Structure 1
Amino acid sequence: MPPLCRLEAGAPRGQGILLLVSLLFLSHLSAAEPLTTAGAVRELLPSQAAEKIPVTLTGVVTYYRSDKLPDFILQDLTGGVHVRQPKDGWQHVEPGDEVEIEGVTDAAVYAPRVDAKAVRKLGRADIPLAIPVSAEELAAGYHEGWLVEVNAVVRAAFIDVTIDPPRLVLRLGTPAGAVDAMITRYGTNDAARYLDAAIRLRGVSLRQANRRNEPYRWMVFVHTVDDIVVTRPPPSDPFAVPLTPIESLLAGGPQQSRHRMRVRGVVTYNDGMLVIQQGAAGISVFPVVRAEAKPGDEVEVVAFARIGMYNPVLEQALVHVVGHVGEPTPEEPPLAKLKPREVAERDWRLITVTGIAGPPTKRDEEAGFTLRTDTHQIPVRLPPGVEAPAVGAQVRVTGVCDLMPGRDVLLLSTTPTTFALLMRSGNDLTLLNPPPWWTRERLLALLVSVVVALLLALVWVVELRRRVVFRSRQLAEEIHKRREAQVAFDATATERKRLAGELHDSLEQGLTGVALQLDAATMGLPQAPAPLTMARTLLTHCRAEVRRAVWDLNADEREERDLPARLRAVAEQAVLGHEARVVVEVQGTAVPASGLIAHHCSRIVQEAVHNALRHGKARSITITVAFTVERLDLTIADDGAGFDPGAAAGPDAGHFGVQGMRERARKISGELAIVSNLGAGTRITVQVPRTGAAAT
């Protein structure tokens, strides 16, 4: 057995397993065939490239970084690949050197790369012909790794000292996005001579990718400025180019490959970002250095235009103040009538909006508040030193319309477009009406007081009911012991009268006091708040229920009553002070009714007549009592305005009349029906079984 594979008899078993795994791994490496083309390396996924696959390549150097970081790009007939040399034994190479490398693959920022273990120069060779590509193809990622030649306009030129070694960066404008040309060897004055120039350059196209290997930045690595040819120099005077109307710029949409253009307008906003307006068209401007222009100044701007979220944006701008002409008159658009696209067309215009001030806001250290209109919730950004108005105040705000308040708006959605208002100074905020005295806090305090009073009244009612139940149980036990119905009836009647007196002297008086307090709270107000009105209605209902309870307790269930006479007296009492006419008709042979039946029927008639007079404005009311063999039929008909029973307000809105009538009909085993139509009066019918209607 070879020495490498010999396992001593006394060796631990774990060491044997480790040795076996090592042998299998070495045999796998020795069996793997090395990759021999750059194209094969570039086809690897990041996970595959990280497996350190052997590589043997021969090609021509198309780009060399620096002696400090001696990386280079190697290109063969199948493509180009990034090569990282070892720290020890690296070779200085130049574009045109033919080299042979041996190494392994690895995952990198740009694409799969080769970590070279050995680099051998084979001599000089012709640099591969650069592939002519358009700026659009370059930004789309075509020909990655290849030596390419592209024509473009330089939109920005600067020396990036944050990378090692520092490089001259030329930002090339394309309709598909910006592409940065990274030049390794350059002069100190080269940045100025390339800005706004049309150039043709030759370099290697590469990308930067994120962790998911998605490209987010495209670059062209250029060895020296000698690989750049200026095909059209920039104008000597940037402000000598023809004027472009802002309106035509918005209508046509800029192409990022265009040269700088000159526009003129009036400044409406300046916080570093400049907003200018020409007629009804506005546009945002990002100067190279902060402009000292103030709102109302007329300026000329020379800048590159790029496509924004909705409207073009001018960047890398030079600003020249022409004079002061005053701000344009702000527009006050009818927001409720505007379609989303019409709202979007007012991007960067000076507008005025009237609404109610909402709560203050703070976002990214910027103070503001929400302006509420009938159709919009508009964020307003306040300038430094200006405080938000009081919540609830009616204000008029003038500012610049910004359709990107949070960079999360869909401008062409079918819902109203979101926008913000950018105020310039405190003069843009006008207080029209102060907030109402009835603030949320004050209303809440009063409402809590009313609720506490009602709860106390409810607790007292529950306590009285508990006493009634307890006392009634005692009376029932007493009646059961005596076995005498007359004694039981007399005792019950006596207790009912006592409880009626107690209810009248305690609870009703307390509720009257609460009513007086509520009336005092609303005295002097032009209009009582809705919660107080509802509380007053509920309290009135509670008082009426107490009175009815007193009546019920005083009613003698065994006493026979003349029902038609009782109903006639109740109806005539109800119409006192009104011009309405009331008629009581009797059909069939009248029979006496029990005190309980007479009491509840009279209360139903009282409530129905009251509603007909108060709500229906009735002129004539007819009450019909029909005695039949099977039942007693009570009908109340009026010629009032009528109503929709299905849409009538109920207890939730503080109206308990209909519910009370139904409850009284149920107590005498009857059924109540209401028929009414708007403009056709109301007809209420109560049917009581004859066994319950006759005297017992």
Structure 2
Amino acid sequence: MTEKMTNDECGMTNDRRRTPACAVRRFFLVSSFVIASLRFLLRSSTRFAVLAVSLCSVLHSSFAAGAPLTRAIDIRMLPYERSLEKLPVDLTATVGFVENSGTAFVQDDTAGTHLHFRPARNDLRVGDHVRIQGTTTAGLYFPGVDVAQLQILGHEAPPMAVPASYDDLATGRLHYQRVIVEGLGRTLTPLDENRSLLRLAIGSRVLEVRVDAPLESAPALIDARLRITALAAGGINDRRQLVFPYIRVTDWKDVVITKAAPALEALPITSVVTLLQFGAADEPHHRARIRGTVLAAYPDGRVFLRDATPPPPPRDTSKDIPKPPQSPSIAIRLTTPVSLTPGQHAEIIGFPIMAGFSASLADALVLATEPDESPVAAVVSLKEFQDGSHDADLVHLTTPAVLNDYFRSADGFELRLTSQGTPLRAFLIQSDPPELDIGTSVELTGICLVESSTDKGFRSQAERASLLLRSADDIQVIHSAPFWTPGRLVLASSILAGLVLLAFIWIAAQRRQIGILSSRIVQQATLDERQRIAREFHDTLEQELTGLSLRLDAATTRPLEDKARTLIETSRSLVSRIQSEARNLVADLRDTEQPPELISALHEIQLRMPPNAPALKLDLHPIPPIPGPVSHHLRMIAQEAITNALKHAQATEITLHLSATADALTLRLTDNGQGFAPAAATTGQPGHFGCMGIRERCRKINANVDWQSQPKQGTMVTVLLPLDRLTT
């Protein structure tokens, strides 16, 4: 019979509810077998041991891939990547909290997890015992279940809640489980239309309690000792990190008052100096009731009160122990800001807390107010201001301070000052900036706030204090800022630098204008000189040549010997050619327009060749743009070289080559004339200035010229113009 039950439990029956249990038993049986085999192999051989481990891993992975998860702890402990694999889930648990029709939280005896429904369900209640079948989902904080099928097995008591502290909730280990939290009710406010927010003091920490019930139905919870049964939850960021914990409550019935709050009228008037002293009350402290004069009140709910209740007599102490500083004033934070005026006598109730250097009241309420005289500021020195004895009190600094700077802060302006070489901060709560110049010497009145403290031995001593001003009237100007403040010096220096810069710009502009005018004067002078030379050529040389040509024409009409006639005709041809060249020269001198491009100019030279001259062959290639004067010089160099080839070399073939590379431009003239000795003929001979002119033009444009010639072997003139040295 026992064997039959075992077979049924291990899967031989058709009951689906026993499948997970059988799977678990199979897993343990296989694991036990593999572990036993592994031990045996480890004793025999390391190689076989490694093989056994690999076999165990394969068997475990194959088994785990098909077995559904049956415990909440197994679901919530899945790594994020594994939860995305939609692993099968077959979980039996109890509903602990219902968020809405699409989300619920369940708990079994191992842990809690969250469920998500599609479509939504409205029939779940806290305490329902359910069977969930579905797949894993990542969730915001840890994995949960996407429900495919849910079966309600019955209804029972809600899952057992466990006691939890604030630290337990902050670790997240009880997340989405029912917990019991005890503390003191601090504040109660509406969260939205049908929900409420209760702030619960747990020791020195305050925990949010979000209740799914309206505020109107809440019992008297403030300052009452409470025991709350709720769902542990919290705020989660995009990195799947718990930012802060809170708890969720379904209804006010889960909030139990274990000790009612004391009546307000039953609370005694307490002296400020007795707050947070040893043996004052249990922790956390109940509300304290104080009475005094309002020193300052701010729109954000901060109130500073000078205590009207005298402190109890001091205990007997040794004369060697210095008396600790005691502040007669206190800083208070109201739950709801109330319009208070400095000088009013007010009665306030609130929770004592440790804040800064002295005890303070938080979540406070104003019980009563009545008019009183304006408070008088305590006159203190800088040392007394910083020693903490006047923390939260209204003080007037006798030591003047110099304003170094001020800038806008979150709720007003922060002033940076220096008093006797000590840096000092003051805060002015207003929207308009203070009407003060940097460097102004002032006396200040305001609330003393100890910003930091340090421990020496067993005592805490104030280290740095700041001043909270009530208004701009708390700033009394003693000496106005000197005219030459750092800001004005910087401004004056900037203006002076700007003027100097403008002067340099003006000088550069004037120099440029002068350069333009000089260029125009030079151009005009050049134009005038060219026109003068053209007139002289036309009126003298060209007229004389014309007369000579007419005489030669007349001479040819008379009977002459053949030898004389040939000489006269040759002379007439020479005169005609000189006349043509003179006209071309005059035309060039008269041409005041932009000189043509070099290639076009070389074509014009070809067209102007004398009728009986040998043909000029052009070998021209594209060149980059060059300035007009450079083009003019190159054209005149080519013209002079062609003239030399015609007059002196008696060439019958002339070739003009023009090309350019990335670095230089090449102009080359080649002829098949008589040739000459370049070393002597190109350096200048009496009455011959052509080659000298070519050299001068090359120097003007930073070009190099070279003659290569031998008698009876022609001549090659090469002009090389580097493009990086191109000049106008």
TM-score, normalised by the number of residues in structure 1: 0.52
SS class of match (1:244): coil
1:211 paired to 2:243:
no
Map of 1:129 onto structure 2 = 160
| Structure 1 residues 423 and 126, CA gap change in structure 2 (3 angstroms) | closer
The whole-number CA distance in structure 2 between the counterparts of 1:256 and 1:59 is 38
Alignment equivalent of 2:380, drawn from 322, 332, 336: 332
Partner of 1:78: 110
Answer yes or no: is the 8 Å Cα contact 1:264–1:301 preserved in 2: yes
1:248 equivalent in structure 2: 274
Shift of 1:99: 0.2
Change (3 A) 1:449 1:290: closer
Q: 1:276 aligns with which of 305, 308, 312?
A: 305
Q: Would you say the 8 A contact 1:177–1:256 is kept in 2? A: no
Secondary structure of 1:31's aligned partner: helix
Quote the residue 2:179 is aligned against: 148
The farther-off stretch of 258-267 and 415-424 is 415-424
One-letter code aligned to 1:231:
T
Partners of 1:326 and 1:445 in 2: CA distance: 44
Map of 2:217 onto structure 1:
190
Structure with larger Rg:
2
When residues 389 and 190 of structure 1 are mapped into structure 2, their CA distance, relative to the original with a 3 A threshold, is same
Equivalent residue letter for 2:377:
T
2:343 aligned partner:
296
Contact kept in structure 2, 1:287 and 1:316, CA below 8 Å: yes
* Per-residue deviation, 1:425: 2.6
What residue number does 1:42 align with? Answer: 76
Of the candidates 429, 433, 444, which is equivalent to residue 397 of structure 1?
444
* Residue 177 (structure 1) aligned with residue 205 (structure 2): yes
**How far is the alpha carbon of 1:398 from its aligned partner?**
0.7
The whole-number CA distance in structure 2 between the counterparts of 1:419 and 1:123 is 65
The answer to whether 1:95 aligns with 2:136 is: no
- Contact 2:188/2:197 (<8 A) preserved: yes
Whether the 8 Å CA contact 1:56–1:100 is kept in 2: the answer is: yes
* Paired letter, 1:351: V
- 1:157 CA drift (Å): 1.6
Q: CA deviation at 1:171?
A: 1.6
Report the AA paired with residue 98 of structure 1. H
CA 1:70 to 1:331, structure 2 compared with 1: closer, same or farther past 3 Å?
farther
- State the TM-score, normalizing by the size of structure 2: 0.50
Q: Tell me, in whole angstroms, the C-alpha distance in 1 between the residues paired with 2:412 and 2:79.
A: 45
Kindly report which structure 2 residues correspond to 1:345-364, keeping only aligned pairs within 5 A, or say none. Answer: 346-353=390-397, 354-364=400-410
Work out whether residues 276 and 352 of structure 2, in 8 Å CA contact, stay in contact via their aligned partners in 1: no
Structure 1 counterpart SS, 2:482: coil
Residue of structure 2 equivalent to 1:640: none
RMSD: 3.7
- SS, match of residue 337 in structure 2: coil
CA distance change for structure 1 residues 47 and 349 in 2, over 3 Å: closer, same or farther?
farther
CA distance in 1, matches of 2:166, 2:489: 66
What is the one-letter code of the residue matched to 1:362? R
Query: Could you tell me how far 1:241 is from its partner in structure 2?
Result: 1.2
Contact 1:288 1:317 in 2 (8 A): yes
Q: How far apart are the structure 1 equivalents of 2:441 and 2:153?
A: 83
Question: How far, CA to CA, are the matches of 1:216 and 1:450 in structure 2?
Answer: 56
* Distance of 1:134 and 1:297 partners within structure 2: 41
Superposed displacement of residue 173, structure 1: 0.7
1:586 equivalent in structure 2 = none
1:168 to 196, 200, 211: 196
Q: Does structure 2 retain, via aligned residues, the 8 Å contact 1:333–1:351?
A: no
- Summarize deviations over 1:45-72 as a string: whole Å, max 9, x none: 4444344332221011121223xx3422
Letter in 1 for 2:154: G
Q: How does 1:295-444 map to 2 (within 5 A)?
A: 295-319=342-366, 320-335=368-383, 343=387, 346-353=390-397, 354-364=400-410, 366-384=412-430, 387-404=434-451, 417-440=463-486
SS of the aligned residue for 2:477 comes to strand
Measured after TM superposition, the shift of residue 421 of structure 1 is 1.7
Q: Does 1:114 align with 2:145?
A: yes
Q: Are the structure 2 counterparts of residues 86 and 256 from structure 1 closer, same or farther at C-alpha, using a change threshold of 3 Å?
A: farther
Structure 2 match to 1:31: 65
Shift of 1:441: 6.5
**What amino acid maps onto 1:75 in structure 2?**
Q
Do the aligned residues in 2 keep the contact of 1:250 with 1:311 (CA within 8 Å)? no
Q: Is the 8 A contact 2:141 2:241 kept in 1?
A: no
In the other structure, the counterpart of 2:643 is none
- Quote the Cα distance in structure 2 between the aligned partners of 1:449 and 1:119: 81
Amino acid at match of 1:399: G
Q: Residues 298 and 57 (structure 1 numbering): CA distance in 2 closer, same or farther, change over 3 Å?
A: same
Corresponding letter in the other structure for 1:107? A
> 1:580-659 alignment to 2 at 5 Å?
none
Specify the code of the residue in structure 1 equivalent to 2:107: Q
Q: Secondary structure at the match of 2:149?
A: strand
Q: Secondary structure at the match of 1:35?
A: coil
Map Cα deviations across residues 216-240 of structure 1 (whole Å, 9 max, x no partner): 322222222222222223344x353
Shift of 1:156: 1.5
Q: In the alignment, which residue of structure 2 is the partner of 1:232?
A: 259
Instruction: Determine if contact 2:96/2:127 at 8 Å carries over to the other structure.
Output: yes
Deviates more, 1:364-373 or 1:56-65: 364-373
For 1:175, the aligned partner's letter is: G
| 1:60 corresponds to | 94
Distance (Å, rounded) in 2 between the aligned partners of 1:116 and 1:450? 78
CA contact (8 A) 1:136 1:176 kept: no
Q: Aligned partners of 2:352 and 2:106: how far apart in 1?
A: 37
SS state of the match for residue 275, structure 1?
A: strand
* Distance across 2 between alignment mates of 1:129 and 1:30: 30
Instruction: Please list, as runs of the form range in 1=range in 2, the aligned pairs for 1:423-502 lying within 5 A after superposition.
Output: 423-440=469-486
Q: Work out which of the residue numbers 214, 218, 222 in structure 1 matches 2:249.
A: 222
Unaligned runs of 5+ in 2: 1-60, 308-325, 498-728
Tell me if structure 2 keeps the 8 A contact 1:135–1:151: no
Report the CA distance between 1:151 and its aligned residue. Answer: 2.4
State the alpha-carbon separation in 1 of the partners of residues 149 and 245 from structure 2. 30
Aligned with 1:327: secondary structure?
coil
Counterpart of 1:425, as a letter, is: S
Change over 3 Å in CA distance of 1:42–1:344 after alignment to 2: farther
**Alpha-carbon offset, residue 94 of structure 1:** 0.9
CA contact (8 A) 2:180 2:227 kept: yes
**Cα drift, residue 450 of structure 1:** 13
Residues 360 and 388 in structure 1, CA contact (< 8 A), matched pair in contact too: no
Quote the offset at 1:445 in angstroms: 9.3
Counterpart contact for 2:267–2:288, Cα < 8 Å: yes
Shift of 1:102: 1.5
CA offset digits 1:512-550 (Å, max 9, x no partner) = xxxxxxxxxxxxxxxxxxxxxxxxxxxxxxxxxxxxxxx
**Cα offsets for 1:425-468 (capped at 9, x unmatched):** 333111222233554467679999999xxxxxxxxxxxxxxxxx
Give 1:121 deviation, angstroms: 0.6
Q: Deviations over 1:606-646 (max 9, x none)?
A: xxxxxxxxxxxxxxxxxxxxxxxxxxxxxxxxxxxxxxxxx
Distance in 2 separating the partners of 1:148 and 1:114: 22
Which stretch of the first structure deviates more once superposed, 295-304 or 134-143? 134-143
Flag structure 1 segments of 5+ consecutive residues without an equivalent: 1-26, 452-696
CA contact (8 A) 2:449 2:466 kept: yes
CA shift digits 1:159-207 (9 cap, x unpaired): 3118xxx4232221112522222232x3552346223222222222223
Give, in whole Å, the separation in 2 of the partners of 1:198 and 1:159: 20
Tell me, in whole angstroms, the C-alpha distance in 1 between the residues paired with 2:146 and 2:283. 38
Structure 2 counterpart SS, 1:143: coil
- The answer as to whether partners of 2:454 and 2:461 remain within 8 angstroms in 1 is no
